[in-house]
Amino acid sequence: MNECPNCERAAHEPLWPRYTASCTDCAIRELAQSPGYFLSMQVGRLHDSYTKSLKAIFGNVKADYIAGHDRVKRAAAQLTQPRLL
């Protein structure tokens, strides 16, 4: 379980706007809301700027940054899930 206070808060408030610089899960949440991710989803391929961000977090090995992209997609899906108030 992630012990990051911003991730813990985001688990209950998906649009929580704060991130911890050293936290990979925060970086994933941030990428899920980034223009590069949005553009990639619009054009149906990984945009260069988004790929650069993925590589910065997950490394240059394609399998690793593609796995990271899958994590970003899951995080993005959490942002669109209906929540009970």
Q: Mean pLDDT in each 10-residue stretch from start to end of the chain (85 residues)?
A: 87 90 95 95 95 97 98 91 57
Question: pTM to 2 decimals?
Answer: 0.86
In single-letter form, the type of residue at position 48 comes to D
Give me the number of domains the chain comprises. 1
Q: Is residue 11 a part of any domain in this protein? A: yes
Instruction: Return the C-alpha torsion angle 68, 76, 56, 21, nearest 10.
Output: -120
47 vs 50: CA distance, rounded Å: 5
- Helix H or strand E encompassing 54: helix 48-58
Q: Is residue 85 a part of any domain in this protein? A: no
Domain range for residue 68? 5-79
Q: Is residue 60 a part of any domain in this protein? A: yes
Using an 8 Å Cβ cutoff, are 2 and 26 in contact? no
Q: Is residue 84 a part of any domain in this protein? A: no
